Structure 1
Amino acid sequence: MDSPHGAAVKAEGFGLKGPRGWAFRGLGIDAAPGSLIAVEGPSGSGRTCLLLALTGRMKPTEGHAEIGRHRLPKKMAAVRRIAALGPVPGVNDLDQSLTVAEQLREGALLQRHYDAPIRSLLRPRAERRAAASTRIEAALDAAGLDLATLPKGERTTVRDLERLEAVRLSVAIALLGSPRLLALDDLDMKLSDTERTEVWAMLRSIAARGTTVLAVCSEAPADAVVLRTAPREDGGAGTDRRAEPTAQAEPAAEQDSGARQGSAADAGSGTDKADKVEKADKVEKSETAAHDNDDTKGTDDALAEAGRA
């Protein structure tokens, strides 16, 4: 039997400290591939830092984690290759000036450029376009975004999308590379109760297909593995006492409630999120430059195809 596509998420004594204090500390989790994991807590309680650390975008201060057998913090680059970010405000915002079709084509282009084998860039242009179209259609289907329902179809500009439509578009772009872990931040921001229900249904569907999902929210659904980042009244780390296993969790994970106790300390104002993301961006840019040196010819052809040469 083939192994699940999704990445198992494990951590022990996991913590991240910034200049203003601990964003989170002493976190433990053991979630099986294909789990639906919810990071629950109020804004400013270290939720985003935890998400970025578990996806290899921030370097933890203590403890360790394993994402699909890639150990953090040593294998941060490897984790980034298998973990895709859905909507994370301030980190990977959609380009408001592009149309939906342009945003999708750009996402497919970047995925092929940085994640696909170099030899794929040398295939005939028509073959590359057909492959990109197939990936886009599959990603849109998984994200539940029907372009025909948009005001101007695929020519609708991103700025004209409703919040729920923008979330679905971000998720579709993240799924273009068939990630093993999909991460989303501020999931319920500016969404009605009905829209939140729709989003969680979408994420359950994605998890059911085998992709592990990690979502930051203010209130988690009952069927998710829950990690709570709310601080205690005395300013210490909060403890989640109601973590529950997902339907996809392995029997062993079910027996210990799907997750160990998680804790997080409020580092204030997102614990210098912007500073840490900037450091992560520098790492990404360094890796990108190295990749570019390896496949310059294929890159030029791909960029020319997208009209961005």
Structure 2
Amino acid sequence: MHGAELVVEGLGLKGPRGWAFRDVSFRAGAGSLVALEGPSGTGRTCLLLALTGRMKTGEGRAEVGGLPLPRRMAAVRRIAALGQVPGVSELDPSLTVAEHLRERALLQRRFDGSVRALFRRPGTRAAETRARIDEALKAAGLDLAALPKAERTSVRDLERLEALRLGLALALMGRPRLVGVDDTDLKLSDADRAEAWALLRTVAASGTTVLAVCSEAPADALRITTVGTAEAADTTGTTGTTGTTEAADPAAPAGDAEKAEKAEKAEDSEDDITEEGADDALAETGRS
């Protein structure tokens, strides 16, 4: 599957303590490497979460793979995955690498697989799961044999770059069109930082669009800076289009526009219920 094209125009998000970011605009083709650059506290992670359908914006517009935000957040979440993001998709330090992989495979099979797949022989399902895990590990460049205790290594014993690779592998197991990575260059040596960016370039080259939060972007990435975006927008008075839905086509009958809006809201509601149902699958892994 090809990556997701990104179209962002005047995007802004305001929280209880003011604007996290504002007036962000850019375009990125499918399979691009996009670096969300800036110091900690400048709205980088909020922008990452907004573009992956996890945080609702209040100003401007964006499209991810042709899906408008914030109106189609649930649909965007189905095509976008996150690596490790503190407070959102963190790795559990008490679990081993193998336990994380098996848990993600279970969730993937239960909520993203076809109904037909549920009736396949256990041996066939196990082989397919193993193949998907191996594919994700290869794409993330994580060699289990090189870890201190191989796949039984606890997350707390992983080096920073190894943890980044594991988080990316878990995200890639769903074969997303867009993947987001937070704190890409945090606490990495120069050599490890170069290795991390080389990895993300490879993922992007394979066709998956990559959003990477960082303090300093490499020269070959599409650099989007969040430094001063909110303050600059407030100073100049620039604003985007406020609202959670797009305006209806004036040429379309009012009834059709209303039906379309209701259908989209129902789709988002159904998707949210499905995500909440993940607790059932977590119970099977012993993490409920």
TM-score when normalising by structure 1: 0.77
- Report the CA distance between 1:235 and its aligned residue: 3.9
Determine the structure 2 residue equivalent to 1:22.
19
- Report the CA distance between 1:97 and its aligned residue: 1.2
Question: Is residue 79–residue 177 contact of structure 2 (8 Å, CA) maintained in 1?
Answer: yes
Alpha-carbon distance change, 124 to 68 in structure 1, aligned in 2, over 3 angstroms: same
Residue type of the partner of 2:207? G
Instruction: Look up the SS of the partner of 1:213 in the other structure.
Output: strand
Alpha-carbon distance change, 219 to 308 in structure 1, aligned in 2, over 3 angstroms: closer
2:232 paired with 1:236: yes
d(CA) in 2 for partners of 1:214 and 1:189?
A: 15
Residue type of the partner of 1:191? L
- Report the CA distance between 1:119 and its aligned residue: 2.5
d(CA) in 1 for partners of 2:221 and 2:109?
A: 32
Determine the structure 2 residue equivalent to 1:155.
152
Instruction: Look up the SS of the partner of 1:183 in the other structure.
Output: strand
**For residues 164-215 of structure 1, what are the alpha-carbon distances to aligned partners after superposition, in whole Å with 9 as ceiling and x for unaligned?**
1010000000000000001011111111111110000000000000000000
**For residues 219-238 of structure 1, what are the alpha-carbon distances to aligned partners after superposition, in whole Å with 9 as ceiling and x for unaligned?**
00111111001127x94359
Residue type of the partner of 1:214? L
d(CA) in 1 for partners of 2:233 and 2:45?
A: 16
Residue type of the partner of 1:287? T
Structure 2: segments with no counterpart, 5+ residues? 235-268
d(CA) in 2 for partners of 1:61 and 1:288?
A: 23
2:184 paired with 1:187: yes
d(CA) in 1 for partners of 2:36 and 2:90?
A: 20
Instruction: Look up the SS of the partner of 2:232 in the other structure.
Output: coil
Identity of aligned residues (%): 61
Listed as ranges, the matches of 1:1-150 within 5 Å are 5-150=2-147
Question: Is residue 182–residue 212 contact of structure 1 (8 Å, CA) maintained in 2?
Answer: yes
**For residues 123-151 of structure 1, what are the alpha-carbon distances to aligned partners after superposition, in whole Å with 9 as ceiling and x for unaligned?**
22111111110011011111011000001
d(CA) in 2 for partners of 1:10 and 1:184?
A: 19
Q: 1:214 aligns with which of 211, 214, 228?
A: 211
Q: 1:287 aligns with which of 267, 274, 282?
A: 274
Residue type of the partner of 1:128? R
2:162 paired with 1:165: yes
- Report the CA distance between 1:283 and its aligned residue: 9.9
- Report the CA distance between 1:284 and its aligned residue: 7.5
Question: Is residue 24–residue 237 contact of structure 1 (8 Å, CA) maintained in 2?
Answer: no
- Report the CA distance between 1:303 and its aligned residue: 6.6
d(CA) in 2 for partners of 1:23 and 1:10?
A: 19
Question: Is residue 11–residue 27 contact of structure 1 (8 Å, CA) maintained in 2?
Answer: yes
Question: Is residue 111–residue 274 contact of structure 2 (8 Å, CA) maintained in 1?
Answer: no
d(CA) in 2 for partners of 1:303 and 1:287?
A: 15
d(CA) in 1 for partners of 2:210 and 2:114?
A: 25
Structure 1: segments with no counterpart, 5+ residues? 239-281, 293-298
Residue type of the partner of 1:192? S
Question: Is residue 99–residue 156 contact of structure 1 (8 Å, CA) maintained in 2?
Answer: yes
- Report the CA distance between 1:99 and its aligned residue: 1.1
d(CA) in 2 for partners of 1:53 and 1:308?
A: 27
Instruction: Look up the SS of the partner of 1:91 in the other structure.
Output: coil
d(CA) in 1 for partners of 2:161 and 2:270?
A: 31
TM-score when normalising by structure 2: 0.82
Determine the structure 2 residue equivalent to 1:273.
none
d(CA) in 1 for partners of 2:9 and 2:232?
A: 18
Question: Is residue 107–residue 278 contact of structure 2 (8 Å, CA) maintained in 1?
Answer: no
Residue type of the partner of 1:216? V
